[in-house]
């Protein structure tokens, strides 16, 4: 085993991970044995909280969040006020004077968050990860073990579906008038559309188009001065608007349309927000099993309430970097966390390792695995790690929480955030600082809005305006920091073998390994706890290390309940070593750094032939395939192969000259 300090000459650009995540819900205590935490502790795909959106969840998630996130009508009102700010363009942002590499000098390294051990003995080598977002492809794995692929664009039809041309028969002006009528945005009680080519077939298509695209509207045909008009009107007055989809949904059809979403360089919530805007529906009618991050190609299953496959398929004509397919109607939505994991296809470009080094590294990954550390994106990208905010919350140090979130800091941030922080430091006036933010749904904007509303002496309520999932991410970041540090201590002390006093899970119940039972377990069975009020700790030296670490942070390991219930940590268990499944690899030679090195689902749908590689080339790349359970970080598996620091700070410095 080597410390990361021996690998700093090897570099790789790892900007983001792409692991399945689900929103955190500490009220549901789950302790799982599949190498991952309870859904309340799932990994975070974002580089931190400073730009996180107020993400809507599916109906199931909403019911569990209701106690806190929507506990006050004021919060709901303010979220509605800001609805139109979603997805604001960032085109007006100013370029930073510093380069990204200069800014990242202030970021975190792996050592800062407790990541300092390897399990394999091979020599590391360098490679470039995510040089192109298409070098990182994620396919979701369902509970049944089926890997999601986009391989069928056909639409399941039934007799109640309108014909395909129903979606194109209305003009843009017609659509606008009908939408205003549907949403009661004008004073008219009806909209009349003249039928230019008057045939029964043409009238039927227009009738079907209006009813399909504008649920809640009814239509009739009228003669006016010898001309035929289709007149649209409300079927049931304003009551129709409460649930317009129910008026046109066939009773024999499942209420949810399930489909496969293929997306490029866009995170899951951005994609759902785009779909909801095109469909003119709220994002919370969509459900999913986990979110996937931005800088990758990802394929996952989505479900949506009472939107037809035909309408969804029609979006393929106008969407950029998104494609929908594999449609089916089901009776139930998708549930967060109800997935087996993700299958990754990853290309590491411009590798320096010999074939023998690659073979040793990949065999070790397949046979031994990697340390199940929480990845760097769990802790943010700036000089203020998210775990510091989490620690302050647990300490009840609310002034420090406010200061840590809002104060100026070094690191990579958007220009408007920098100006907002400067204004806050200068004036301590939340309203004044808020004016510097064009996008107010970031965490900073939400906290400033809360401070404006509740005042500087009620920081707890002001902080409560931030969506619950985002607030809990700070605390989970602190738990992750403790866990990483303790696992490194555990491996330093006892190596890669199970020892008496280690913890293993029997079902969901933790038990100690006894002296006479130690040969029945391997390191792959061992779990370690995230600190909380409902976990037990190992019965060896690491137990005292937990106690000392929390005590140094002015926290009592024997009293992890918080005065605010939401911030009370029950804890959970996580396997310390993960062995990926379905591991395969090949080394390919190539000359053009921009050439794709494998086909995507869309390439296959379009009939593109797979790339052909020469026996020799200017560069060499390692193409890896492997599957991981939820809440494990693919970058930590790649770190074990390359033996390098995955922090943006380290790799940006090492690779800036090469990437130019």
CA atoms within 13 A on the CB side of 617: 18
Which DSSP letter does residue 411 get? B
Residues sharing a CB contact under 8 Å with residue 648, sequence separation 6 or more, in sequence order:
14, 15, 47, 104, 107, 376, 381, 412
DSSP classification of residue 609: P
Nearest residue to 334 (alpha-carbon basis) of 256, 252, 249, 251: 256
Contact at 8 Å (CB) between 231 and 191? Answer: yes
Task: Give the span between the Cα atoms of 657 and 644, in whole angstroms.
Answer: 18
HSE-CB at 329 with a 13 A cutoff on CA atoms is 16
Question: What whole-number distance in Å separates Cα of residue 173 and Cα of residue 179?
Answer: 10
DSSP letters spanning 268-286? HHHHHHHHHHHHTS-GGGE
- Report DSSP letters for 79-133, one per residue: HHHTGGGTT---TTPPPPSS-HHHHGGGS--GGGGT----S--SPP---EESSSG
For 410, residues 6+ apart whose C-beta sits below 8 A from its C-beta are 103, 105, 106, 382, 383
Distance in angstroms (rounded) separating the CA atoms of residues 188 and 57 = 35
Calculate ∠ Cα 48-34-517, nearest 5°.
125
Tell me the pairing of strands 286-288 and 297-305.
Answer: antiparallel
Query: What distance in Å separates the CA atoms of residue 348 and residue 174, rounded to the nearest whole number?
Result: 51
Tokens (6 digits) for 313: 């398929």
CA proximity to 219, closest of 251, 250, 174, 168: 174
Tell me, yes or no, if 591 is annotated catalytic: no
Q: Which of 267, 293, 601, 645 is catalytic?
A: 293
**Total Cβ atoms within 10 A of residue 428:** 13
What residues are annotated to the active site?
293
């Amino acid at each position: 085993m080597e410390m990361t300090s021996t690998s700093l000459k090897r570099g790789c650009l790892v900007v983001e991970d792409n692991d399945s995540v689900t929103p955190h819900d500490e009220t549901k205590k789950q302790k799982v044995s599949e190498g991952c935490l309870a859904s309340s502790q799932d990994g975070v795909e974002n580089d931190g909280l400073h730009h996180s959106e107020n993400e809507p969840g599916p109906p199931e998630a909403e019911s569990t969040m209701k106690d806190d996130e929507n506990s006050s009508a004021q919060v709901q009102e303010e979220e509605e006020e800001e609805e139109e700010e979603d997805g604001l363009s960032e085109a007006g942002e100013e370029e930073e004077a510093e380069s990204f590499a200069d800014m990242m000098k202030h970021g975190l390294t792996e050592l800062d968050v407790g990541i300092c051990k390897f399990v394999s003995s091979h020599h590391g080598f360098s490679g470039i990860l995510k040089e192109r977002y298409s070098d990182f492809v994620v396919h979701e794995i369902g509970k049944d073990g089926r890997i999601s692929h986009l391989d069928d664009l056909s639409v399941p039809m039934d007799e109640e579906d309108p014909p395909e041309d129903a979606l194109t028969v209305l003009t843009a002006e017609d659509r606008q008038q009908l939408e205003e009528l549907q949403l009661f945005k004008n004073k008219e009680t009806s909209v009349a559309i003249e039928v230019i080519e008057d045939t029964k077939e043409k009238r039927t298509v227009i009738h079907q188009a209006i009813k399909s695209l504008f649920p809640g509207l009814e239509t009739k045909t009228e003669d006016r001065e010898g001309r035929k008009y289709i007149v649209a009107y409300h079927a049931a007055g304003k009551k129709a608007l409460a649930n317009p989809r129910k008026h046109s949904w066939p009773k024999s059809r499942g209420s949810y349309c399930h489909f496969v979403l293929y997306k490029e360089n866009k995170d899951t919530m951005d994609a759902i927000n785009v779909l909801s805007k095109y469909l003119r529906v709220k994002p919370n009618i969509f459900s999913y099993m986990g979110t996937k991050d931005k800088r990758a190609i990802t394929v996952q299953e989505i479900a949506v309430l009472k939107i037809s496959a035909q309408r969804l398929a029609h979006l393929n004509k106008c969407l950029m970097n998104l494609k929908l397919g594999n449609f089916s109607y089901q009776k139930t939505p998708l549930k967060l966390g109800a997935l087996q994991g993700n299958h990754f296809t990853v290309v590491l470009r411009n590798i320096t390792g010999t074939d023998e080094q690659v073979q040793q590294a990949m065999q070790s990954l397949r046979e031994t695995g990697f340390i199940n550390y929480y990845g760097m994106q769990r802790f943010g990208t700036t000089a203020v790690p998210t775990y510091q905010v989490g620690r302050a919350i647990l300490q009840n140090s609310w002034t420090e929480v406010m200061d840590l979130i809002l104060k100026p800091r070094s690191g990579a941030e958007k220009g408007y955030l920098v100006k907002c922080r400067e204004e806050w430091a200068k004036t301590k006036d939340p309203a004044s600082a808020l004016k510097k933010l064009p996008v107010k749904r970031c965490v900073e904007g939400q906290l400033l809005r809360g401070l404006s509303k509740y005042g500087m002496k009620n920081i707890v309520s002001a902080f409560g305006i931030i969506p619950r999932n985002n607030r809990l991410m700070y605390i989970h970041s602190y738990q992750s920091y403790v866990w990483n540090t303790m696992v490194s201590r555990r491996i330093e002390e006892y190596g890669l073998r199970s020892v008496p006093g280690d913890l293993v899970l029997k079902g969901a119940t933790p038990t100690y390994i006894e002296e006479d039972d130690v040969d029945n377990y391997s390191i792959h069975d061992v779990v370690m706890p995230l600190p909380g009020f409902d976990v037990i700790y190992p019965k060896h030296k690491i137990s005292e290390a937990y106690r000392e670490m929390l005590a140094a942070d002015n926290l009592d390991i024997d009293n992890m309940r918080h005065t605010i219930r939401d911030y009370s940590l029950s804890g959970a268990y996580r396997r310390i070593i993960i062995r990926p499944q379905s591991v395969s690899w090949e080394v390919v030679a190539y000359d053009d750094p921009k050439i794709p090195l494998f086909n995507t689902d869309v390439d296959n749908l379009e009939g593109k032939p797979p790339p052909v590689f020469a026996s020799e080339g200017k560069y060499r790349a390692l193409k890896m395939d492997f599957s991981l359970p939820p809440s494990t970080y693919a970058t930590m598996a790649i770190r074990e192969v390359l033996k390098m620091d995955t922090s943006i700070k380290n790799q940006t410095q090492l690779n800036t000259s090469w990437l130019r």
